[in-house]
């Protein structure tokens, strides 16, 4: 039941995350499941539902921890 409620709660963010993932041409990162890297320099990192999309040129462990915090908040 908890997973269903979480899925419904995060549905709008997951849809936007999926759209951003496709528009940015992000690729799965070898660092962790649910983390994706992109090369578009005009776009920073973002956490949308279960998606964490990191700019590969700005990526570091601090950025990933920051975005994980946003993921937990959602």
- Reported as a single tens digit per residue, the pLDDT across 19-74 is 888 888 888 877 777 788 888 766 788 888 888 888 888 888 888 899 889 888 87
What distance in Å separates the CA atoms of residue 35 and residue 54, rounded to the nearest whole number? 7
Rg of the chain (C-alpha set) = 12
User: How far is Cα 54 from Cα 39, in angstroms, rounded to an integer?
Assistant: 9
12, pLDDT greater than 90? yes
Please tell me whether the overall predicted TM-score, pTM, comes out greater than 0.85 for this model: no
d(CA 48, CA 58): 18
């Amino acid at each position: 039941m908890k997973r269903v409620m979480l899925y419904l709660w995060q549905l709008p963010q997951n849809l936007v995350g999926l759209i951003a993932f496709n528009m940015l041409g992000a690729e799965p990162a070898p660092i962790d499941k649910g983390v994706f890297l992109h090369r578009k320099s005009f776009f920073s990192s973002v956490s949308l539902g279960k998606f964490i999309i990191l700019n590969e040129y700005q990526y570091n462990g601090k950025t990933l921890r920051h975005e994980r915090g946003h993921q937990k908040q959602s």
